[in-house]
Structure 1
Amino acid sequence: MIVRIAQYPLKERLLFGIASSGAILLAQQVLTWLVHGRLTFLLISASLPLMTVLFGAWSGALLLAIGLAYGALWMQPVGSLAVQTGDDRAVLLAYAVVGAFLVAAGQQLAKVARRAGRAEAASQDAAERLLQVEREARHRFDVALNSAGVPFFILTPIVRDGVVAELRWEYLNEAAARLFDQPAAVVIGTSTSYVRPMGWDSDVLLERLAPLAERAGRDAFDVRIQGDLGEQWFHVVAASLGGAVVAWFGDVTPRVRAEQALSEADRRKDEFLATLAHELRNPLAPIRQVAEILEQPRLTEERTQWCVKVLRRQSAAMALLLDDLLDVSRITRGALTLRKEVVALREVIDEAIEIARPIVEGKAHELVVRPPARPLHIEADRLRLAQVLGNLLTNAAKYTPPGGRIELAARADDAEIVLSVEDNGIGIEPDKLSAIFSMFSQINPDHHRDGGLGIGLALSKSLIELHGGRLTASSAGKNRGSCFSIHLAAECRVAAAPAPARDTPAVALAKRCILVVDDNIDAADALTAVLELEGHEVRTVYSGEEAIDVLNHYSPEVVLLDLGLPGMSGIDVARRIRATPATKDVTLIAITGWGQPQDRERTAEAGFDFHFTKPVDVVQLNEAIEWPGPTVRPEGTPEAH
């Protein structure tokens, strides 16, 4: 107790010393009053070791001297320091000797207390350092496991009847905690039978990890789960650790999917090579047979012409096949470039129809064409766009039973231009719809005769993406037809530049209702006269405001509009015309003195179909006025233009 007190700070020791000394003196005074004893001063000796330990030898010596003086005062004669009797002197001497001994003992005890204090302080310091080292080691352990980003667990066994019946979550890092729907603090201490990541099988965990809790060893295996993110794969590496099990759960889903993709690509490659061999043998067989026929003597002219047609037809088929393969190679290498030009969308449609005509007519399909409601020109690679649209028509014809219906439609709005090919053929199953644009994928691989190489749609998709657009597909399901759509950005639309003037034979022009708008009265009247001589019905106004008023009660098919009008400009008039439902589909022709590229961009944005600079070539103007409107193929005819 004294050793412990000696380690107190000075303030606490001082308070304790004063309190203990006061208590002893009070007890001594009480005894003196009660018995008037001369030896009660000896009680002071009880505090000598304590005072010496607390404050040093000087305090013990001072207290001893005070005790001697106090004792002398209470001996005969009372109140005097002179002690006359021999017995009293002997008592004082004994007190002095014993007191000196107690002071010396207290000094030694103080030394022991200081050494014990230093030892205890060193022990506490070592314990704190050890605790700090343990905390730092645990912190480094947590940081290392959390920074790994791989789920890590420590599991301890729950033994029943000498057998590991369950496993308990003992520790998990941050990556592991994210696999649970609950906080880590809730998971730790629970059983794998009741708390585990979504989709995990507790029986698999117990079967593979329980043996490691019973004996030293390690194991590695893959676990397949079906969680919120779909199918996932984890590679588990586990080992024994003092009766527990430590395990890493690495997410190998990307690797497994890559392996599956490689396997699928390898399978498609094999199918592609088999299909390629089939597609090449098809034209090679008749070519070889025709070569043998041409070697025969007495070959008739009719038979020779037939052989030539077969050779041309089959060699053309091989050329198309090779062209597709070369296009795919160029796109893959980034070597394919588009040759863009201003082209009429209707011309692209006509070229695509010509590409698909043989198979459409051969299978007696009904082809319905719905061109845009008004002339539409775009900046695109005419050949490639017609190639894609022709491929969609050909596919529709291939996968539609004979006598089916195919519809080709075009529409345009402020957001995009859409070309769609819809059929009532075999359709596409929902689970296969997302894969049809993949390389070597076939819509119907069970029918190699119609299946092709499986690169047509992938090639078409890439060509449309090079145009800044997208190719989409939809189907209601098997045997319910399908629809493929080309989506082009509205920005690719332009106002058509005039075609080069050429001599053309006079033909009868269809009568049109035309509105001429020009603030130059002579120019407007002269143009009106020319158009009336062509047989058209013409109304003429000389300002934008008049044009808007006339359109309230007059419905023209064509509007010839000057741009530099006073007040409301031609651009503003055009926008009003396109915004009005009754006039939004009229053919809108700009006639202006402005002919720079930026001027044509402005007219295209305003909705003009054609852009002519003054003076206008009459032949070109007639071609624009004669632009065909939407038509539907009549029953029994192969196509509509």
Structure 2
Amino acid sequence: MIVRIAQYPLKQRLLLGIASTAIILLAQQALTLFAHGRLTFLFLSATLPLITVLFGAWSGLLLLLSGMIFGALWMQPVGSLAVPQRDDQIVLLAYVVVSAFLVAAGHQLAKVAQRAGRAEAATQNAADRLLQVERDARHRFDVALNSAGVPFFILTPVVRQGRIAELRWDYLNEAAAQLFNQTAAVVIGSSTMYVRPTGWDANVLLARLAPLAERPGREAFDVRVQGANGEQWFQVVAASLGGSVVAWCGDVTPRVRAEQALSEADRRKDEFLATLAHELRNPLAPIRQVAEILEQPGLSEDRRAWCINVLRRQSAAMALLLDDLLDVSRITRGALKLRKEAVALREVVEEAIEVARPILVGKAQELVVKPPTRPLHIEADRLRLAQVLANLLMNAAKYTPPGGRIELTATADEHEIVLSVADNGIGIEPDKLSAIFAMFSQLNSDQHRQGGLGIGLALSRSLIELHGGRLTASSTGRNRGSCFSVHLPASSRVFPPPAPTRPATASRSPVQKHRILVVDDNVDAADAMTAFLEMEGHEVRTVYSGEEAVDLLAIYNANVILLDLGLPGMSGIDVARRVRATPSTNDVTLIAITGWGQPQDRASTAEAGFDFHFTKPVDVQQLSQAIETAGTVL
């Protein structure tokens, strides 16, 4: 107790010393009244150890001296410091000896008290530092986990009857707390059976995390959550930690959706390739059959004309198919440019109807056209807008039974210009309306599969958006028809251009005859082109390689060369450069006829010296016009 008292602050020690000394003096004074002061001064020695411990050895010695003086004054003769009696002297000497011993003992106790105090202070300081280190570590731990922005939590198992019955939330960082509808203070200490993130399954958490609380290990798994924001996916990475489980979780919904989109895109790709093969075989089958018919002897003129019409229709169908694919590619790359001009809406509608007329006539469908009340001119790409309307008409015809009704309506007001194609066909389920504009989209129901690559509506929507408009679809359900509407901004409306002055009709000059060399490694294509040119009255030679073309030009003075680019060995580009480098042939008209029609392909042919570049299948009228530009004639 004395050691503990010695560690008190000075003010407390001073008050305690004064109080103890006063008590001793009062007790001594009381005894003096009865014992006349004899030996009462000895009570002072009782305070010597305490005073020495509290205030040091000098205070104890001062008190010892005070006691000697006090005792001498009260011994006979009273009031005098002289102590003549021997027994009093012995008592006074004993007091001095005992008091000196007590002062020495008190001094030693003071040292012990000081060392104990320093030790206790050091221990307390160490404990305080350890506590501060723990607090700092916990603070750094919290800061690190909270700054990560990734939900982190610690779970402790609750064991009943020898097995883990539930898990308890022991720690949550700020990101994890945001997954709950309650505060972290409420969540911590609660069971996962009753408190958990919105939409999470308690049984899934227990089944996946409980084994990690029983044995060391690590596991990662995805959790599907149906929350307020729809379907979400979280990836949980958990590990054992001394009987508990620590876990991180992250929202991987974008990744899962991307994987699902890739899977869907892969499925659509397979369907697209299968449909593409089907769509290419459709026109190829009649073309091949017509070729067999044309070989038959005694073919009538009517049958021959029918075969030619079939070939034209089917080759045009293949050309349209390839054009759609190329247009999609250009739009995807941002390479498609509109050629806008002032066009009459009536003319655009007529062109679209002309394209769709064969399928409408073939299914005996009624087409009703409701034009605007007044003539209307708009600034648009005439070809592309007609392409969109034709696509909508053909789609309506495909999905409308024979004998059905299709309406094409055009209206205009101060806000927009609307072109609508409505039918009474099989219709579209409301939940499928948002999917029909997706690229390569095909509705799954068998009654909806009417052929096509599934790119028509996606292409049409992109073309209308390039015009600053939008393409919408509506339907009240299956077998209730559908309506597709092109909405163009009112700002696209323009005044009609002035009518051009008609020049006097000139008589058509006869076709000029030329010496033409046809070069193509596709024998059928080369021979077919040769036959056409010979029917036009031209002199034609045909070779099937670049090397043959160079050799023939040394002896054949052609003034027009129709040259394929993808020749085996010496390419068409190489042949063109050789022709331009030879003085005898450098002025010949070079016409590229190829399947390559990208801008870089046209740049390559222009650099090689070609005069014209046509893509297969070539428009014979344009080809004839190009041939007529050649200088030398027969």
TM-score by length of 1: 0.73
How far did 1:352 drift?
A: 2.6
Name the residue aligned to 2:108: 108
Aligned residue runs from structure 1 range 179-190, under 5 A: 179-190=179-190
How far did 1:177 drift?
A: 2.2
Is the contact made by 1:48 and 1:60 (CA closer than 8 Å) also made in structure 2?
Answer: yes
**Matched residue type, 1:68:** M
Name the residue aligned to 2:565: none
- 2:269 equivalent to 1:269: yes
1:97-127: CA deviation from partner (whole Å, max 9, x where unpaired): 2222222222222222222222112111111
Name the residue aligned to 1:128: 128
Instruction: Tell me whether 277-286 or 9-18 shows the greater mean CA deviation.
Output: 9-18
1:352-396: CA deviation from partner (whole Å, max 9, x where unpaired): 333323323333333333444445443322221221222122212
**Matched residue type, 2:337:** T
How far did 1:157 drift?
A: 1.9
Name the residue aligned to 2:418: 418
Instruction: Tell me whether 202-211 or 453-462 shows the greater mean CA deviation.
Output: 202-211
How far did 1:448 drift?
A: 8.0
The SS at the match of 2:450 is helix
Name the residue aligned to 2:441: 441
**Matched residue type, 1:236:** V
Q: Distance in 2 between matches of 1:310 and 1:232?
A: 55
The SS at the match of 1:418 is strand
**Matched residue type, 1:387:** Q
Is the contact made by 1:442 and 1:451 (CA closer than 8 Å) also made in structure 2?
Answer: no
How far did 1:318 drift?
A: 0.5
Instruction: Tell me whether 487-496 or 289-298 shows the greater mean CA deviation.
Output: 487-496
Change (3 A) 1:495 1:470: same
Q: Distance in 2 between matches of 1:456 and 1:53?
A: 105
Unaligned runs of 5+ in 2: 505-634
Q: Distance in 1 between matches of 2:497 and 2:215?
A: 86
Aligned residue runs from structure 1 range 211-230, under 5 A: 211-230=211-230
Is the contact made by 1:407 and 1:423 (CA closer than 8 Å) also made in structure 2?
Answer: yes
Is the contact made by 2:399 and 2:448 (CA closer than 8 Å) also made in structure 1?
Answer: no
Q: Distance in 2 between matches of 1:445 and 1:276?
A: 19
Q: Distance in 1 between matches of 2:12 and 2:419?
A: 96
Name the residue aligned to 1:156: 156
Aligned residue runs from structure 1 range 438-587, under 5 A: 438-443=438-443, 446=446, 450-502=450-502
Is the contact made by 1:275 and 1:448 (CA closer than 8 Å) also made in structure 2?
Answer: no
How far did 1:309 drift?
A: 0.8
The SS at the match of 2:338 is coil
Q: Distance in 2 between matches of 1:302 and 1:228?
A: 70
The SS at the match of 1:155 is strand
How far did 1:313 drift?
A: 0.6
The SS at the match of 1:450 is coil
How far did 1:447 drift?
A: 5.3
**Matched residue type, 1:165:** A
Instruction: Tell me whether 77-86 or 402-411 shows the greater mean CA deviation.
Output: 402-411
Change (3 A) 1:252 1:63: same
Q: Distance in 2 between matches of 1:4 and 1:371?
A: 110
Name the residue aligned to 1:64: 64
Change (3 A) 1:72 1:186: same
Is the contact made by 1:427 and 1:479 (CA closer than 8 Å) also made in structure 2?
Answer: yes
Name the residue aligned to 1:353: 353
Change (3 A) 1:120 1:427: same
Q: Distance in 1 between matches of 2:375 and 2:170?
A: 74
Is the contact made by 1:445 and 1:451 (CA closer than 8 Å) also made in structure 2?
Answer: no
1:318-351: CA deviation from partner (whole Å, max 9, x where unpaired): 0100000000111112211111223343433333
Is the contact made by 1:379 and 1:493 (CA closer than 8 Å) also made in structure 2?
Answer: yes
**Matched residue type, 1:118:** R
Aligned residue runs from structure 1 range 176-215, under 5 A: 176-215=176-215
Q: Distance in 2 between matches of 1:19 and 1:489?
A: 103
Instruction: Tell me whether 221-230 or 300-309 shows the greater mean CA deviation.
Output: 221-230
Instruction: Tell me whether 269-278 or 120-129 shows the greater mean CA deviation.
Output: 120-129
How far did 1:181 drift?
A: 2.0
Q: Distance in 1 between matches of 2:413 and 2:28?
A: 115
Aligned residue runs from structure 1 range 322-401, under 5 A: 322-401=322-401
Change (3 A) 1:41 1:345: farther
How far did 1:278 drift?
A: 0.7
Is the contact made by 2:363 and 2:403 (CA closer than 8 Å) also made in structure 1?
Answer: yes
Q: Identity of counterpart residues, as a percentage? A: 81
Q: Distance in 1 between matches of 2:282 and 2:427?
A: 26
How far did 1:193 drift?
A: 2.0
Instruction: Tell me whether 410-419 or 56-65 shows the greater mean CA deviation.
Output: 410-419
The SS at the match of 1:434 is helix
Change (3 A) 1:472 1:68: farther
Change (3 A) 1:13 1:500: farther
How far did 1:464 drift?
A: 1.9
Is the contact made by 2:279 and 2:451 (CA closer than 8 Å) also made in structure 1?
Answer: no
Name the residue aligned to 1:564: none
Change (3 A) 1:368 1:18: farther
- 2:19 equivalent to 1:19: yes
Change (3 A) 1:45 1:265: same
The SS at the match of 2:435 is coil
Is the contact made by 1:366 and 1:404 (CA closer than 8 Å) also made in structure 2?
Answer: yes
Unaligned runs of 5+ in 1: 505-641
**Matched residue type, 1:287:** I
Is the contact made by 2:52 and 2:60 (CA closer than 8 Å) also made in structure 1?
Answer: yes
Q: Distance in 1 between matches of 2:242 and 2:75?
A: 78
Is the contact made by 1:428 and 1:443 (CA closer than 8 Å) also made in structure 2?
Answer: no
How many residue pairs align between the two structures? Answer: 505
The SS at the match of 2:286 is helix
Q: Distance in 1 between matches of 2:312 and 2:221?
A: 61
Name the residue aligned to 1:403: 403
**Matched residue type, 1:83:** V
RMSD (Å), alpha carbons: 2.5
Q: Distance in 1 between matches of 2:177 and 2:74?
A: 82
Name the residue aligned to 2:75: 75
Name the residue aligned to 1:428: 428
How far did 1:399 drift?
A: 1.0
Q: Distance in 2 between matches of 1:69 and 1:414?
A: 125
1:607-636: CA deviation from partner (whole Å, max 9, x where unpaired): xxxxxxxxxxxxxxxxxxxxxxxxxxxxxx
Q: Distance in 1 between matches of 2:494 and 2:8?
A: 96
Name the residue aligned to 2:31: 31
How far did 1:441 drift?
A: 0.4
TM-score by length of 2: 0.74
Change (3 A) 1:278 1:24: same
Change (3 A) 1:358 1:110: same
Q: Distance in 2 between matches of 1:146 and 1:195?
A: 21
**Matched residue type, 2:363:** K
How far did 1:486 drift?
A: 2.4
Instruction: Tell me whether 264-273 or 61-70 shows the greater mean CA deviation.
Output: 61-70
Q: Distance in 2 between matches of 1:361 and 1:27?
A: 136
